């Protein structure tokens, strides 16, 4: 007598039902290969200080559902020889507006690009995303990256 679908492993049920996984590798990497605009820089004139840039109206799109994600992106960094030019940073962040990309990937991609263009002493990017379905997400990525396996912090608030 065959097993009921209740007693089978969930991976077997999905495979036998002919359905594809809910989240695919395509979803996971969506948006990461986008051609983001350059973030311009200008020569720093002072040593040892911190810059904080706040985008309280950040938007992107969930690659799975196509629904908009609204949030606040805060970039903190200590410049070395270069500072981020704010108008080009604004244009860079607006490139995410209609892009299908997970919130965790947004924060890590912004960090990678800030480090790529400004080459700071250190940097941190925080994404505080508005609730959808009662769940909000806070993602924090830091550079230099931690030596341990944990590369990001994710907080979920109910």
pLDDT in tens, 61-101: 999 999 999 999 999 999 999 999 999 999 999 999 999 99
Count how many residues are written for the chain.
158
In a domain, 54, yes or no: yes
In a domain, 31, yes or no: yes
In a domain, 6, yes or no: no
pLDDT at 132: 84
Query: Please, which residues have CB within 8 angstroms of residue 156's CB and are 6 or more apart in sequence?
Result: 135, 136, 137, 138
Letter string b/e over residues 113-137, b meaning 16 or more CB atoms within 10 A of that residue's CB:
bbbebbebeebbbbbbbeeeeeeeb
In a domain, 146, yes or no: yes
In a domain, 45, yes or no: yes
In a domain, 16, yes or no: no
| Range name among 2-16, 105-119, 135-149 with the lowest pLDDT average | 2-16
pLDDT at 149: 60
User: Whole domain around residue 144: which residue ranges?
Assistant: 27-157
Q: Is the pLDDT of residue 107 over 90?
A: yes
User: Considering 33, 54, 55, 62, which one is annotated as catalytic?
Assistant: 62
Question: For residues 115 and 84, is the Cβ–Cβ distance under 8 A?
Answer: no
Domain at 97, CATH number: 3.30.1130.10
User: Considering 69, 83, 113, 128, which one is annotated as catalytic?
Assistant: 69
CB atoms within 10 A of CB 66: 8
Question: Once rounded to an integer, what is the mean pLDDT over residues 124-136?
Answer: 94
In a domain, 147, yes or no: yes
More confident residue, 24 or 59: 59
- In the chain, % helix, strand, coil (3-state, to 5) comes to 25, 35, 40
Query: Please, which residues have CB within 8 angstroms of residue 46's CB and are 6 or more apart in sequence?
Result: none
Is 69 in the active site? yes
Question: Once rounded to an integer, what is the mean pLDDT over residues 116-143?
Answer: 96
What total number of domains does the chain contain? 1
pLDDT at 1: 47
**What share of the chain in percent tops pLDDT 70?**
80
CB atoms within 10 A of CB 97: 11
pLDDT at 146: 86
Is 62 in the active site? yes
Q: What does the H/E/C string look like for 6-71?
A: CCCCHHHHHHHHCCCCCCCHHHHHCCCCCCCCCCCEEECCCCCCCEEEEEEEEEEECCCCCCEEEE
CA atoms within 13 A on the CB side of 7: 4
In a domain, 7, yes or no: no
Which two structure tokens, joined as six digits, stand for 117?
């263009």
């Amino acid at each position: 007598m065959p097993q009921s679908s209740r007693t089978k492993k969930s991976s077997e049920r999905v495979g036998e039902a002919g359905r594809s996984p809910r989240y695919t590798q395509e979803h996971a990497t969506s948006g990461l290969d986008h051609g983001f605009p350059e973030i311009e820089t200008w020569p720093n004139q002072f040593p040892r200080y911190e810059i904080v840039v706040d985008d309280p109206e950040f938007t992107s799109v969930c690659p799975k559902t196509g629904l908009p994600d609204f949030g606040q992106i805060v970039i903190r960094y200590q410049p070395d020889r270069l500072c981020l030019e704010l108008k080009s940073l604004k244009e860079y962040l607006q490139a995410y507006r209609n892009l299908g990309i997970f919130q965790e990937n947004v924060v890590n991609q912004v960090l990678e690009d800030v480090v790529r263009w400004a080459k700071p002493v250190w940097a941190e990017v925080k994404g505080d995303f508005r609730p959808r379905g009662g769940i909000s997400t806070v993602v924090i990525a830091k550079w230099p990256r931690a030596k341990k396996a944990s590369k990001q912090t994710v907080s979920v608030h109910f």
